[in-house]
Chains A and B, each alone.
Chain A
């Protein structure tokens, strides 16, 4: 079973943990927005989605 390792934070607070698959879905569905922050256990700091390589999944950035 895929581990729930991801969290995100928006102006309503922190949410999680989620699996990577769920995280990607939420990015694709614009539930997690570019200015929201994401974090997983292996990271030292929270990072804004738009400052991370996961922006790949954001609308308009998927190259397929």
Chain B
């Protein structure tokens, strides 16, 4: 469903016979901005809607309603709005005039200058007089027309016919080491190298286009003036004199500007003749790369000046909307939304035959990037990782390239791929992660005679959790709390299972977390559960609460392995010479420090000092029926690896 505000505003304005300039002045915006609102490209904020509702004497509720059935007051019957309109119309027109002198508009608003209206402004008590509205408008229009004619003749100027139109492609620019972009409200921001002050743009406002040089940023304001940061003082002083500019572009060291009469200005580096643009007319758009200038005229033809290697391929090309250059690409975006790349000499052709509805292109060293009207970005590059990364970008409104990286702008955030040495951009995935729930952590398993209890830490903003384990059949369940108890009959002794858990949200603002995966070996209560993370993910710390199995009477080697696997490190083994072993089975005789059935965490186990005694093994041929008269103990070699703590 489209906004019907443009239709409503047009209907209201036409009904009251108001100019776009007048309504724009009421909203304290430029005519171009207002034209953008009326043609549906821009949108009002609530304050502006309130002003409009007051201007047209309708309620804000009616103004905000998305239909064009709007109350149109009859002037003859409604003296209030008549008075309101007639009383306000004079002053804003006079005050606003110097902002619209480069504007092409559709309802014969005159091109005027403040000084032409001094007489009108000086009329006393205009607001208090009852004036015939139609007559007044007629007088104003006639005065504007005459004033413009006289002004134009006196100054012998060509009639300006081009408008400054803010475009999305102008909202983002990239050099080899920094990126600049324009926010919704016309402020300008940057990321990356600021060693030359090229990102010190906080003083700029009402910016409609930005471009970058090697180490400077140049901007075009909606008033048609130009400014820059990081630029040498002489060049800066020069561009501050420019006015009535409708487009700008910057190469490495030269700046191009198109005036509203179709002429072109250039300052800066002219070593390749890139600034030889004085004689060209009827230009509506400029692009620049390194030491080259590309001018597009009103017939959509290319005029090129600058580095010779490009010249033969570009001069005279027709039906061209944009040209993008790099060391090894010449990309041409045609007016029908298709793209062609020159595949000759040093230049690579590009795979663009399936691309359509392309609105912008950009080239780097070894790649060409394309943006379509749906905000999708495509790239011609021999790098599948970057290709994959860029394909995940959505709703992009502008693209730009440095020699070895690509950035895309969605109106709020700059995403990038490639070389990010100067931190020119944010990784798309990093930004998206902020809306993804954290993965569950600290899975613990507690085995009882009847149940196996799984618990994990609560995840912020998670409404529930999905728990899955590959029992036979697979068990999968959503649980509100970070715990699930399963009947132990569903598990087989000693069998390995894989547990997957992820945090979920009912709120669209949060995406489900990444699933964590843990291997788990089931042992009945007496045995040892040995969960280990399957992946390299750092999220799983498993403070399993162990239940100590039977030890006394078991084989010494088996028990020592068992304790070692659990994590015990402080184990002392003592041979009891008074008790001889049967055959080769060296059994544990007694143990201190831990007991059968005790539940203990890994951390606790590490701190325990465990001592056990075992029978004395005597090779069979020497085994005699010995008698035990006294117990002597000696510290014996433990089976614990030598890097474990040695206990004396």
The A-contacting residues of B in range 599-642, CB under 8 angstroms, are none
Assess whether A43 is in contact with B60, with CB atoms less than 8 Å apart: yes
A40-B46, A42-B46, A63-B41 are known contacts. Are A53 and B61 too (CB-CB below 8 A)? no
The A-contacting residues of B in range 47-92, CB under 8 angstroms, are 49-50, 59-61, 63-66
Query: Quick one: closest A residue to B41, CB to CB?
Result: A63
The B-contacting residues of A in range 29-54, CB under 8 angstroms, are 29-31, 34, 40, 42-45, 47, 50-54
> Which residues of the other chain, A, contact B50 by a CB distance below 8 angstroms?
42
- For the complex of A and B, the 10 pairs showing the least CB-CB separation, nearest first, are A56-B3, A53-B5, A56-B43, A53-B3, A44-B61, A42-B60, A53-B66, A52-B64, A63-B40, A52-B66
- Report the Cα distance A64→B63, complex, angstroms: 23
Assess whether A51 is in contact with B168, with CB atoms less than 8 Å apart: no
Assess whether A20 is in contact with B41, with CB atoms less than 8 Å apart: no
Q: Which of A43, A52, A58, A64 has the most CB of B within 10 A?
A: A64
> Which residues of the other chain, A, contact B66 by a CB distance below 8 angstroms?
50-53, 55
- Within the complex, what minimum Cβ distance (angstroms) separates A31 from chain B? 6
Assess whether A5 is in contact with B46, with CB atoms less than 8 Å apart: yes
Query: Does A57 count as interface, using CB distance less than 8 angstroms?
Result: yes
- Report the Cα distance A20→B63, complex, angstroms: 17
Assess whether B508 is in contact with A53, with CB atoms less than 8 Å apart: no
Q: Once A and B bind, how many residue pairs between them come within 8 Å at the CB atom? A: 65
Query: Does B397 count as interface, using CB distance less than 8 angstroms?
Result: yes
> Which residues of the other chain, A, contact B509 by a CB distance below 8 angstroms?
29, 31
- Within the complex, what minimum Cβ distance (angstroms) separates B413 from chain A? 11
- Report the Cα distance A55→B40, complex, angstroms: 12
Assess whether A31 is in contact with B508, with CB atoms less than 8 Å apart: yes
- Report the Cα distance A20→B60, complex, angstroms: 16
> Which residues of the other chain, B, contact A63 by a CB distance below 8 angstroms?
40-41
> Which residues of the other chain, B, contact A56 by a CB distance below 8 angstroms?
2-3, 5, 40, 43
> Which residues of the other chain, A, contact B441 by a CB distance below 8 angstroms?
none
> Which residues on B are within 8 Å of A, measured CB to CB?
1-5, 8, 40-41, 43-46, 49-50, 59-61, 63-66, 168, 184, 397, 412, 508-509
> Which residues of the other chain, A, contact B49 by a CB distance below 8 angstroms?
53
- Within the complex, what minimum Cβ distance (angstroms) separates B66 from chain A? 5
- Report the Cα distance A38→B387, complex, angstroms: 40
The one of A31, A47, A57, A61 in contact with B61, judged by C-beta atoms closer than 8 angstroms, is: A47
The one of A25, A30, A43, A53 in contact with B43, judged by C-beta atoms closer than 8 angstroms, is: A53
Assess whether B1 is in contact with A57, with CB atoms less than 8 Å apart: no
Q: Which of B1, B45, B50 has the most CB of A within 10 A?
A: B1
Told that A53-B65, A56-B2 touch, could you supply 9 new A-B pairs with CB distance under 8 A? Answer: A40-B46, A43-B60, A52-B66, A53-B4, A53-B5, A54-B3, A56-B43, A64-B41, A64-B168
A34-B1, A53-B4, A64-B397 are known contacts. Are A47 and B508 too (CB-CB below 8 A)? no
- Report the Cα distance A44→B120, complex, angstroms: 40
Interface size in chain A (residues, C-beta < 8 A)? 27
- Within the complex, what minimum Cβ distance (angstroms) separates B359 from chain A? 10
> Which residues of the other chain, A, contact B44 by a CB distance below 8 angstroms?
53
Query: What are 8 A-to-B residue pairs whose CB atoms are below 8 Å?
Result: A20-B46, A40-B46, A44-B60, A47-B64, A53-B5, A53-B43, A54-B43, A55-B1
- Report the Cα distance A25→B412, complex, angstroms: 9
Assess whether A55 is in contact with B46, with CB atoms less than 8 Å apart: no
Q: Which of A20, A30, A42, A56 has the most CB of B within 10 A?
A: A56
- Report the Cα distance A36→B120, complex, angstroms: 50
> Which residues of the other chain, B, contact A29 by a CB distance below 8 angstroms?
509
Assess whether B61 is in contact with A43, with CB atoms less than 8 Å apart: yes
The one of B1, B5, B41, B45 in contact with A50, judged by C-beta atoms closer than 8 angstroms, is: B1
- Report the Cα distance A38→B396, complex, angstroms: 27
- Report the Cα distance A44→B60, complex, angstroms: 8
Assess whether B508 is in contact with A52, with CB atoms less than 8 Å apart: no
Q: Which of A50, A53, A55 has the most CB of B within 10 A?
A: A53
> Which residues of the other chain, A, contact B168 by a CB distance below 8 angstroms?
64
- Report the Cα distance A53→B64, complex, angstroms: 6
> Which residues of the other chain, A, contact B5 by a CB distance below 8 angstroms?
53, 56
Query: Quick one: closest B residue to A56, CB to CB?
Result: B3
- Report the Cα distance A51→B2, complex, angstroms: 10
- Report the Cα distance A21→B1, complex, angstroms: 21
- Report the Cα distance A51→B61, complex, angstroms: 11
Assess whether A61 is in contact with B1, with CB atoms less than 8 Å apart: yes
Query: Quick one: closest A residue to B167, CB to CB?
Result: A64
- Report the Cα distance A18→B63, complex, angstroms: 21
Assess whether B43 is in contact with A57, with CB atoms less than 8 Å apart: yes
The one of B3, B45, B184, B397 in contact with A61, judged by C-beta atoms closer than 8 angstroms, is: B3
Query: Quick one: closest B residue to A21, CB to CB?
Result: B184
Assess whether A44 is in contact with B46, with CB atoms less than 8 Å apart: no
> Which residues of the other chain, B, contact A40 by a CB distance below 8 angstroms?
46
- Report the Cα distance A34→B45, complex, angstroms: 18
- Report the Cα distance A49→B41, complex, angstroms: 19
Query: Quick one: closest B residue to A59, CB to CB?
Result: B395
Q: Which of B2, B59, B60, B412 has the most CB of A within 10 A?
A: B2
- Within the complex, what minimum Cβ distance (angstroms) separates A20 from chain B? 6
- Report the Cα distance A52→B2, complex, angstroms: 10
- Within the complex, what minimum Cβ distance (angstroms) separates B26 from chain A? 17
Assess whether A51 is in contact with B65, with CB atoms less than 8 Å apart: yes
> Which residues of the other chain, A, contact B65 by a CB distance below 8 angstroms?
47, 51-53
> Which residues of the other chain, B, contact A47 by a CB distance below 8 angstroms?
61, 64-65
Assess whether B45 is in contact with A20, with CB atoms less than 8 Å apart: yes
